[in-house]
Amino acid sequence: NELEGVLAHELGHIASYDMRYMTLVAVMVGMIAIISQIFLRSLWFRGGGSDRSKGIFILIGIILAILAPIVVYMVQMSISRKREFVADASAVKFTRYPGGLIRALKKIKEDHTPPEKKVSKAVAPLFISNPFGAMGRTHPPLEKRIQVLERM
């Protein structure tokens, strides 16, 4: 049954403490972003040294302040995608029947309605393109999930 598969998938998230795990990951991402900002801002008030060496440190700080949050965000999304596979495996373990979840995922895959058409017109403009593409997704591609489930 599809509903059973979907509910078991969500129970898999609960059983594997995904909310706690992803909250910790989000806190770590936030801490890295804050530390990079502190480092960047402290460079402006750093005393001593030549202007040239100060300029190099500022350049390095700017690069780190920009790249560090992006890199940790991509790591966070990668972890999130992996947790989806764990929840899928848990669903199969709970139901002992991967077919229900496979059918549910195939239905989602076949629905070609753009997400912004499924919500109120007031929030539709919030659905913008993801600049990171697949790396910025919280869920792995449906095809990949279905392939893994079919092998179970």
129, pLDDT greater than 60: no
Whole-number pLDDT of residue 92: 96
Work out the average pLDDT over 127-149: 77
Q: Left if phi > 0, otherwise alpha if psi is -120 to 50, otherwise beta: which for 17?
A: left
Q: What is the pLDDT of residue 94?
A: 95
Return all residues near 64 (Cβ < 8 A) that are at least 6 apart. 36, 39, 40
Cα separation of 106 and 147, whole Å?
11
Look-up of token digits 């690069």: 63
What was the pLDDT predicted at 4? 96
Q: Tell me what the pLDDT averaged over the chain comes to.
A: 83
State pTM to two decimals. Answer: 0.73
Query: How many residues can be counted in the chain?
Result: 152
Catalytic residue annotation:
10
The pLDDT, as a whole number, for residue 83 is 95
| Per-residue confidence (pLDDT) for residue 41, from 0 to 100 | 76
User: Band of the pLDDT at 126, cuts 50, 70, 90?
Assistant: low
In this model, does residue 117 exceed pLDDT 70? no
Residue 81 reports pLDDT greater than 60: yes
- Residue ranges per domain, the chain? 2-119+133-150
Written as six digits, the tokens of 125 are: 């403009």
* Percentage of the chain modeled with pLDDT above 70: 79
Q: Tell me the HSE value of 131 on the side-chain side, using a 13 A CA sphere.
A: 2
Tens digit of each residue's pLDDT (9 = 90 or more) over 35-64: 877 877 777 676 655 666 667 777 877 888
Distance of CA 70 to CAs 75, 93, 116, 120, 122, Å? 9, 35, 26, 30, 29
